[in-house]
């Protein structure tokens, strides 16, 4: 039976999923390797390459692989030449590029305003990683044949072809989202050639062969999960992708130029990016520290998600009243946008308990979800909300989120929606309608129902939190 392989290179873990007409056959999970050099964090591609090649080789012996695709986090870029990397890529969230961004901020704002880039200028975009690596002599411009996002690098290693997925290009700050090509004025200014960046194409496009295996394009992890859902169930949905970071996304077609915006569609953020075909866009906003924030709090108290103490704390939170214990905001959220540094706990009482701290994290993440979804509703209407990611297994947090939104939340019978989206990219690219329909029949939605008494409390909490943030941020 023909199978399809989807690879999801995540910030914390890499997942490889095998799909056939019976549904999901296998999921393999490995740690995404990283290393630190001169106080900068890098993804360790030698270890990653070795692990992926070994797993693909094993799967190729076990299955008849009819297609393969790979998705990854955005922003991190790999300099390559002659089929190999020249250096490991900087981890997407590393702050080493802040001074580089500040140095070029004015010229970038002029050459890549929101109406071209679809996003505000942020230090972690691929552009600044390229400039940082040049200016610190990590690589030399004349050495680099191509700069590639990590998922495209994996496909380059397999096929020797350099192609950027459109959704990854949106995370570079170097693309014109409306004309769907590299922003020539910007890259010319920084002496980065279009050939060095490579071809642009849509998710599901054919890239080349790895031996006899056809290889297809996938892009930014959150958007690849969206692609899988939209391909299976249509575009009338909102996808809340909850990983280390989160992104809430809706798909839209432009009407009367309404997506040619000169500023973000919400007060402290909002992305307009290239969708999965001509004329299609995505609208999105998220939180940079999502699962990472919960992980930070647990680590502070010496816990993990699998620890008994965490489960006991979660049980206590179920019966706790809803009140504002203190306030949280962080850079990259939709409360302050980029107007702060790191994660901030404000007005936190000295006697705040671990239960109250974790409860406040759940409230904050639920609050930011509601802010984004209410703004998306203005453009796409009131649509079903699909959630994805490992946090689905945290029933307390998910009940908080459903009750804050006072809406049913739907999820598929797998937490690996991003890897599944990559597999769907391969199935769609290979035009195997039989496999596609079979997979659709094998996937089923489950529902998280809000607690309607909790909805009332959460609505009051939402109003109090909004008032509190307005007071703090005046």
The tens-digit pLDDT sequence of the chain (474 residues) is 789 999 999 999 999 999 988 888 899 999 999 999 999 999 999 999 999 999 999 999 999 999 999 999 999 999 999 999 999 999 999 999 999 999 999 999 999 999 999 999 999 999 999 999 999 999 999 999 999 999 999 999 999 999 999 999 999 999 999 999 999 999 999 999 999 999 999 999 999 999 999 999 999 999 999 999 999 999 899 999 998 888 999 999 888 778 898 998 888 789 999 999 999 999 999 888 998 999 999 999 999 888 999 999 999 999 999 999 999 999 888 898 888 888 999 999 999 999 999 999 999 999 999 999 999 999 999 999 999 888 999 999 999 999 999 999 999 877 788 999 999 999 999 998 888 888 888 888 999 999 999 999 999 999 999 999 999 988
Q: Which two tokens stand for residue 68?
A: 């393969």
pLDDT at 441: 86
Contact 27, 71 (CB under 8 A): no
Domain extents in the chain: 2-221
pLDDT at 385: 96
The CATH code of domain 2-221 reads 3.30.420.40
Number of Cβ atoms within 10 Å of the Cβ of 256: 6
- Dist CA 221 CA 216 (whole Å): 15
pTM: 0.90
Cβ within 8 Å of residue 146, ≥6 positions away: 79, 80, 81, 156, 162, 195, 196, 197, 198
């Amino acid at each position: 039976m023909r199978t399809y392989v989807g690879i999801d290179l995540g910030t914390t873990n890499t997942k490889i999923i095998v799909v056939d007409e019976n549904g999901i056959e296998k999921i393999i999970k490995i740690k995404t390797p990283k290393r630190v050099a001169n106080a900068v964090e890098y993804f360790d591609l030698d270890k990653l390459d070795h692990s992926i090649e070994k797993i693909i080789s094993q799967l190729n012996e076990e299955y008849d692989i009819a297609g393969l695709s790979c998705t990854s986090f955005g922003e991190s870029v790999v300099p390559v030449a002659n089929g190999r990397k020249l250096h490991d890529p900087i981890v997407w969230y590393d702050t080493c590029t802040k001074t580089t961004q500040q140095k070029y901020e004015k010229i970038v704002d002029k050459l890549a305003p929101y109406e071209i880039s679809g996003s505000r200028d942020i230090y972690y975009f691929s552009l600044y990683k390229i400039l940082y690596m040049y200016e610190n002599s990590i690589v030399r411009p004349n050495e680099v044949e191509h700069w590639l996002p990590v998922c495209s690098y994996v496909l380059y290693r397999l096929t020797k072809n350099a192609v950027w997925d459109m959704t990854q290009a949106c995370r570079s700050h170097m693309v014109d989202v409306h004309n769907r090509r590299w922003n020539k004025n910007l890259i010319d200014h920084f002496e980065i050639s279009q050939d060095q960046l490579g071809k642009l194409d849509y998710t599901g496009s054919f890239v080349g062969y790895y031996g006899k295996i056809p290889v297809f394009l996938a892009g930014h992890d959150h958007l690849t999960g969206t692609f899988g859902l939209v391909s299976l169930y249509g575009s009338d949905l909102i996808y809340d992708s909850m990983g280390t970071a989160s992104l809430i996304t809706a798909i839209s077609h432009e009407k009367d130029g309404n997506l040619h915006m000169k500023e973000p569609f919400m007060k402290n953020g909002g992305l307009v990016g290239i969708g999965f075909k001509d004329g299609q866009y995505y609208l999105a906003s998220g939180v940079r520290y999502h699962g990472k924030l919960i992980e930070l709090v647990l680590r502070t108290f010496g816990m993990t998600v699998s620890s008994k103490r965490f489960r006991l704390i979660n049980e206590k939170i179920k019966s706790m009243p809803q009140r504002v214990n203190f306030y949280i905001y962080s850079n990259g959220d939709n409360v302050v946008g980029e107007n702060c540094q790191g994660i901030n706990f404000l007005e936190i009482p000295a006697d705040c308990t671990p239960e109250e701290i974790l409860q406040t994290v759940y409230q904050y993440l639920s609050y930011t979800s509601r802010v984004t979804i209410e703004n998306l509703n203005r453009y796409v209407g009131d649509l079903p909300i699909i959630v994805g990611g490992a946090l689905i297994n945290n029933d307390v947090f998910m009940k908080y989120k459903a009750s804050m939104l006072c809406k049913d939340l739907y999820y598929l019978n797998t937490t690996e929606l991003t890897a599944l989206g990559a597999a769907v990219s391969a199935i769609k690219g290979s035009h195997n309608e039989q496999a596609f329909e079979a997979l659709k029949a094998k996937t089923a939605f489950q529902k998280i129902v809000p607690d309607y008494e909790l909805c009332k409390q959460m609505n009051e909490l939402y109003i109090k939190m909004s008032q509190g943030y307005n007071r703090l941020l005046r």
